[in-house]
Amino acid sequence: MRRAIVIVGVLVVGAAIGGYVFFNGERKVPVRYRSAVVERGSVVSLVTATGTINPVVSVQVGTQVSGMIKSLHADFNSVVKAGDIVALIDPEPFKARRDQAASNLEMSKANVSRAKTDLAQRKRELDRVKSLVAQQYVSQNDVDVATTNFQSAEAQVNVAGAQVKQAEAALNAAELDLKYTVIRSPVNGIVVARTVEVGQTIAASFATPNLFLIALDLTKMQVDTNVSESDIGGITEGKEATFTVDAYPGHQFSGTIRQVRLAPINVQNVVTYNVVVNVDNQDLRLKPGMTANVSIVVAQRDAVLKVPNAALRFTPPTAERVDRAASGGKPAKAKSAEPQAGANRGAMAIKRTIWKQGPAGEPEPIQVQTGISDGVATEIVSEELSEGTPVIVGIERPKGERGGKDLPPGFGSGGQKGSSRNRGL
């Protein structure tokens, strides 16, 4: 009887301990993973930049003479043709200079006539002295003096002739300056800007002042944009580009790259290159000076396998603990960063690790080769995955247990920094 009581007591104590451990002990909560399937579709890699809309050809109309603006014959948005008068500078001072140059020319011509008359007289004197020296009525010295006077008269005729040419040149210059007082349009186009008013005095002594800016053809525009050196490698002439402007937020304009200029632009140690995009503007909706948000198609893959970029960022907790232990307790550095949009332009595939759930529910690694990325999804170029295969993109946690690294990109300390490349389509 006593032995039975002891056995029952031991069983009761064991049951109590087991119940305590069962109800109050630590229990391992199974990890639940979020997954996404491998899809087939298009991946478009874009490079974004900001530029300015400008006319393809614009001509600055200036003046070569100084003076006061007497009248204006063109204004903003005026349609002008080549040779049309757009402004007139007061011509009265230039007419006075022209008249003075003309009078100087007449005086020079009169000097030529006088020099020729004196030359004829010296010629007659020389001939007379030569005839008398043979009869010994005059000395040889008289002959030498007459010869010198004749040669001097010849030189004076040449000087007077040169003065005539000089006066003619001065007259031509005065008439040319008078002609320049009438400012004409050099091309057919539209006046975009006017910088002078009637009565304003302009000086052209050191630099040609700009009076008008005339756009040759506003139906053909271009976008001048600067692309950073990290993105310029995939941009070539002939590639397609799209852009939007603030004036038409719901409309997307398209164009093609006409030129990638080789001259680098260095601003605060940031090197960029000017990329010129041609745009058709038949409806004249685009105005010069508008700001354009440009997206340039760097690479495009159609009907390819793609996975969300979250699958490339995911690392199972067990792998994180192994990496942390191997690095001495410090957080291990990521083996490969998330591919950026515009990167990996098809020149070389990169090996990456993607995880999927095995038969027992544990994550299993898969080595794949990735191609281009659009910031949301990445192309898979290897054959380890097939369409419809589920891959792990994260861990499901109860509400209230989300860490900062689980917040959407851009929120909290774990948000990714912005890039010049487009993060999504």
CATH of the domain at 158: 1.10.287.470
Q: Are residues 106 and 172 in the same domain?
A: yes
Confidence bin at 16 (pLDDT 50/70/90): low
Type of residue at 373:
S
Cα–Cα distance for residue pair 112/164, rounded to 1 Å: 8
Residue 15 domain-assigned (yes or no): no
d(CA 149, CA 353): 109
Whether residues 110 and 139 fall in one domain:
yes
Q: Is the pLDDT of residue 304 over 60?
A: yes
pTM for the model stands at 0.63
Q: Is 278 a member of any domain?
A: yes
pLDDT, greater one: 125 or 318: 125
Residues 332 and 283 in one domain: no
What domain range is 160 assigned to?
91-180
pLDDT at 405: 47
Tell whether 319 and 296 lie within a shared domain. no
Say if residue 292 is in the same domain as residue 361: no
In 3D space, the residue among 420, 350, 413, 418 whose CA is nearest the CA of residue 379 turns out to be 350
Dihedral sign from CA coordinates of 259, 261, 262, 265: negative
Kindly state whether residues 292 and 311 are assigned to the same domain.
no
Type of residue at 43: V
Residue carrying the six token digits 């030129």: 259
Q: Of 250, 265, 300, which one is at a domain's C-terminal end?
A: 300
- Answer whether residue 331 shows pLDDT above 80: no
Q: Name the strands in the sheet holding 182-184, side by side, starting at the edge strand that comes first in the sequence.
A: 182-184, 85-89, 67-72, 201-202
Residue 39: is its pLDDT beyond 70?
yes
**156, part of any domain:** yes
In a domain, 71, yes or no: no
**347/39: higher pLDDT:** 39
pLDDT at 257: 95
pLDDT the model gives residue 120:
93
Residue 422 falls inside a structural domain: no
pLDDT of 418 reads: 35
Asked if residue 202 belongs to a domain, the reply is no
pLDDT of the residue at 339? 53
When pLDDT is cut at 50, 70 and 90, the band that residue 29 belongs to is low
Residue 281 domain-assigned? yes
Give the span between the Cα atoms of 332 and 62, in whole angstroms: 66
What is the spatial distance between Cα 301 and Cα 408, in angstroms, rounded to a whole number? Answer: 27
Structurally, the chain folds into a number of domains equal to 3
Average pLDDT over residues 344-364: 74
Give 238-295 pLDDT, tens digit per residue.
999 999 999 999 899 999 999 999 999 998 899 999 999 999 999 999 999 999 999 9
Average pLDDT, the chain: 82
d(CA 212, CA 16): 99
Same structural domain, 389 and 361: yes
| Spatial CB neighbours of 184, under 8 Å, sequence gap ≥ 6 | 82, 83, 84, 85, 86
Based on the fold, state whether residues 270 and 309 are members of the same structural domain.
no
Say if residue 176 is in the same domain as residue 150.
yes
160 found inside a domain? yes
Token digits of residue 29? 């909560």
Q: Which of 149, 180, 211 is the last residue of a domain?
A: 180
Kindly report, residue by residue over 385-412, the tens digit of the pLDDT.
888 889 888 888 766 555 444 444 443 3
The reply to whether 263 and 332 lie within a common domain is: no
The answer on 372 and 311 residing in a single domain is yes
pLDDT at 199 over 70: yes
Q: How confident is the model at residue 174 (pLDDT cuts 50, 70, 90)?
A: very high
Question: Across 25-34, 105-114, 294-303, 352-361, which has the greatest mean pLDDT?
Answer: 105-114
Q: Could you tell me if 277 and 312 lie in one domain? A: no
Q: Is the model's pLDDT at 340 over the cut of 80?
A: no
Distance, in Å, from the CA atom of 56 to the CA atom of 406, rounded to the nearest integer, reads 49
Q: Select from 265, 300, 335 the last residue of a domain.
A: 300
Q: What is the CATH number of the domain that holds 265?
A: 2.40.30.170
Asked if residue 34 has pLDDT above 80, the reply is: yes
Burial code (b: 16+ CB inside 10 Å, e: under 16) for 254-264 equals ebebeeeeeee
